[in-house]
Amino acid sequence: MRVRNPIPGVVYVPQADADFYVREGVLAEQTLIAAFRESFVRNADRVALADVDGVTTYREFDIRSDQGAAALWRLGLRPLDRVLFQVRNSRALIEAFFACLKIGVIPVCTLAAHREAEIGYIGRHTEAKAHFVHGDDPRFDMIAFARKMRGELPAVEQSWSSAAKAPAMRRHSRGWPRRKIRNTPGSWSKPSSSTPGRLRSFQLSGGTSGIPKIIPRFNNEYRYSMQTVIDFIPLDRDVVAFTPNPLMHNAPTLCIWGPALLAGGEVAVATGPRLADIEAALATRRPTWILMAKVHQLRLYESGALNRLSFDNVLGFPVPEALWSSPRMLGANCYPIYGMTEGILAFCRPGDPPEAIASTVGRSSSPYDQIRIVTPETETDLPAGEVGELLLKGPCSLRGYYNAPERNAEIITSDGYYRSGDLMSFKSIDGTPYRLFHGRVKDVVDRGGEKVNCSEVELAIRAASKGGRRGLRRYARPSLRRAHVRLRPAPRRRPRTWTWQTSPNTWPLWA
């Protein structure tokens, strides 16, 4: 398995490693979309996607994504072109993602909350040719934003909106093009550039800097990751998968809707980000495999929604946080999950010892993951049981961020392992090694699944105190040692950021 015409800036699995994984049957000679097409045929009359407004069968889903693929082809997109995805969860989002898969276009996964700095950097760095947004956000005009960014990103030629009733966008702009084109020419259906080892999507790193780093993920390893989840948990065609987390994120893709669609199951989708939308999806579709951030669990609990919902049919909730409160709140089985977009997945599963479920983050879903625990920021292995930095290498692990040679020299060891920055140890339970998470080598705050490096906050406060922000300059003091930062609504709906010192002489800093 060799990659024809490798993309500059993309770091591929070394050929010797790729050949080994192929011989072992780990990385198959099959593209991701080819595997999904087999599922479409096997499960043609079963429900693939569902929300409170209706359902889409596998046959209908295949046809709709074909129409979208034909539209993208007629609009000039070709294999390996990049499209910025900045869309809230919806059936249209998944259709658009599969339309890209079918013609070899590379989705670039961003966040709906990203603005000029992030989209500008990501768009330029990936040389994106199109920008896909949702057009029905009452709090922010995504269509106007896409129009603005199209003027600032030289390669972006088109922008689309997923909202049927969104105002028309001007030059080079359209609604989601599936509505425009109904005929599906066959010339795009199996582009010659679509090979198992070719780039499949650009994901974003969890973030240890202000602008996220870009992670290339590939056809065969993405398909393998999804299959390991199906086999490890296990999942089958009766699964109903759901997450309110951004569907374009790596964890929802690899752990929720990707495995569900490969197995022939159903993917339930919330029609919006509000708590009522999440509760409606849970109540109407009754999912059995649910990934929810702790913030969603707490909001459902505080609103009383958990008293109105029943999870007696649920196989489990994979939860990334500590388990002490989730099972009690949800009244359902919860299993720890640990992973990173850089390429490792670990779970506990039904049947694991209670001690492992309660105190660890599980074990790898792939038996081919190679794990080392070393003294942080070195390559010195530590004795079994000691806490150190997790290094990893495997069929799905990162071999380098996109077009970032200096950063790659820091995070890839001399023998090809990725430095995770996570502090871990191993614990043997009933003869099986499980992982314990002890924090980060560097200070990182997890805010609803979005990672914020503490040094970035400190730098922002320091810059503001030197005159960058009028309010902070007025109050800045050299004795400031600790600060809190949060957003606060202000008159005329203008967001304000304020910080305050946590010392006996507390005083606010306004920005």
pLDDT per residue of the chain (511 residues) written in tens, 0 to 9: 677 788 999 999 999 999 999 999 999 888 999 999 999 999 999 999 999 999 999 999 999 999 999 999 999 999 999 999 999 999 999 999 999 999 999 999 999 999 999 999 999 999 999 999 998 888 899 999 999 999 999 999 999 888 644 443 333 444 555 444 444 444 444 444 457 778 999 999 865 445 679 999 999 999 999 999 999 999 999 999 999 999 999 999 999 999 999 999 999 999 888 999 999 999 999 999 999 988 899 999 999 999 999 999 999 999 986 666 788 889 999 999 999 999 899 999 999 999 999 999 999 999 999 999 999 989 999 999 999 999 999 999 999 999 999 999 999 999 999 999 999 999 999 999 999 999 989 766 655 545 565 655 655 565 555 544 444 433 344 445 556 665 554 444 443 333 333 333 333 332 2
- DSSP letter string, 161-225: ES-TTSPPP-TTEEE-GGGT-----GGGSS-TT--TTSEEEEEE---SSSS--EEEEEHHHHHHH
Q: How far is CA 298 from the centre of its chain?
A: 21
Residue 370 token pair: 């190679």
Beta strands in 74-164 (DSSP E): 82-86, 106-109, 130-133, 158-161
C-alpha span between 146 and 131 (Å, rounded) = 7
Q: pLDDT at position 171, please?
A: 35
Please tell me what DSSP assigns to residue 465: I
**The one-letter amino acid at 105:** V
Q: At what angle do helices 58-74 and 91-103 cross, to 10 degrees?
A: 60
Residue found by looking up tokens 């023998």 in the block: 415
Q: pLDDT at position 136, please?
A: 84
> How close are the terminal C-alpha atoms of the chain, in Å?
55
C-alpha span between 332 and 312 (Å, rounded) = 7
C-alpha span between 190 and 73 (Å, rounded) = 12
C-alpha span between 373 and 72 (Å, rounded) = 46
C-alpha span between 290 and 241 (Å, rounded) = 6
Q: pLDDT at position 412, please?
A: 96
Nearest to 357 by CA among 369, 347, 365: 347
Residue 186 token pair: 């066959």
Q: pLDDT at position 279, please?
A: 97
Q: Nearest 5 degrees, angle CA 190-CA 96-CA 132?
A: 125
C-alpha span between 223 and 511 (Å, rounded) = 46
Is the separation of the CB atoms in 134 and 90 below 8 Å? Answer: yes
Q: pLDDT at position 459, please?
A: 54
Count of Cβ atoms closer than 10 Å to residue 302 Cβ: 10
Total-model pTM: 0.83
Buried b (16+ CB within 10 A) or exposed e, 2-28: ebeeeeebbbbbeeebbeebbeeebbb
Please tell me what DSSP assigns to residue 10: P
Nearest to 469 by CA among 459, 481, 478, 482: 459
